[in-house]
Amino acid sequence: MSASSRALAALGLTAGLVAGVLAGCFSEREATGPAEGECRFPVSDDILGSTVVVIRRFAFGPAEVRVRAGDRVTWINCDEDGHTSTADGGEWQSPLLAPGEAFTQTFDAPGEFAYHCEPHPFMLGRVIVE
Ligand SMILES: [Cu+2]
């Protein structure tokens, strides 16, 4: 392994921990919350500063997040299947996220937004913008 690829691996681990910690901050401390440490994402401006929703085991975690107007929410797909973040009311639509892909949406106006996963309509979530 070259020095540069080792550096990239270390960066990926750090990003995974950042995402895990962020997700943990917003979880309800349930035993079923997203596990940490397995999912690695590159550090990006989109993820840093976002409220992170982890997609894992066909569920959004946490299923409900509260943000302030102007904030960003980033969904990261830590699952082994493709998923979307699709607003029930059409306010946003992510592409089909492959494992390891992320999608960021900025919420400018207050409101409550229910969303689901298009291929798996039983996957439900909610973003509350205050
Ligand atoms: Cu899905």
**pLDDT single digits (tens) 38-67:** 677 777 888 889 999 999 999 999 999 999
Domain layout of the chain by residue ranges: 3-129
Rounded to 5°, the CA angle 50-127-63 comes to: 90
Residue 48 CA to ligand 1 center (angstroms) comes to 24
Residue (of 36, 92, 28, 37) closest to 62 by Cα position: 28
Residue 37 CA to ligand 1 center (angstroms) comes to 21
Q: pLDDT tens for residues 107-118?
A: 999 999 999 999
Residue 29 CA to ligand 1 center (angstroms) comes to 23
Residue 7 CA to ligand 1 center (angstroms) comes to 32
Q: pLDDT tens for residues 64-83?
A: 999 999 999 999 999 999 99
Look at the pTM and tell me if it is higher than 0.75: no
Q: Are 75 and 60 in contact (CB under 8 A)?
A: yes
Q: For 3-129, which CATH class?
A: mainly beta
